[in-house]
Every structure is written in C-alpha cells, then in structure tokens.
Amino acid sequence: MLIASCSMNKEWLLLFILDLKLHLQSTDYGNFLANEASPLAVATIDDKLKEKLVVEFQHMRNHALPPLSTFLDYIT
C-alpha cells in the first residue's frame, strides 16, 4: 500500500508541476521555465521564481523615488 501511495504521490506531483508550468505561461512568469528540462524539480521552480522576483525587485528599486526607495532599501 505504501509503494502504491508513493507512486501515486509522484504522479500527482508531476501533474501538479506540469499544470503550474502551463498556468505560468500566460503570465509574466511564462518564459522563465521554458529552457528547463522535464521533469522539473520543485527546487528548480523555487530557484527560478526567486531569481525572477529579485530581478523585478531590483528593477522596481532602481526606478523608485523617496520615500518608496528608502523603504525598499530598509527591507533589503
């Protein structure tokens, strides 16, 4: 029973990751997983999301004026 459950969990996770990738394609995050080979690991998705978030944050910080720029400096 445990082996069947484990296999079922792996299949569910794979379907979830593919579904996540499909849904992200219609957003600004659509391309960031395009060059990643399947099956995607959760750690890969996590790393790529963090990289994208950092780039977007830096862009926002570079274009911000006080007091927003001060706040963004404070939280980093």
pTM of the model: 0.65
C-alpha 42/C-alpha 19 separation (Å) is 13
pLDDT for 2 beyond 80: no
Q: Which of 69, 33, 39 is nearest to 51 (CA)?
A: 33
The predicted-structure confidence for 27-70, as pLDDT tens digits, reads as follows 877 777 777 777 777 788 888 889 989 999 999 999 999 999 99
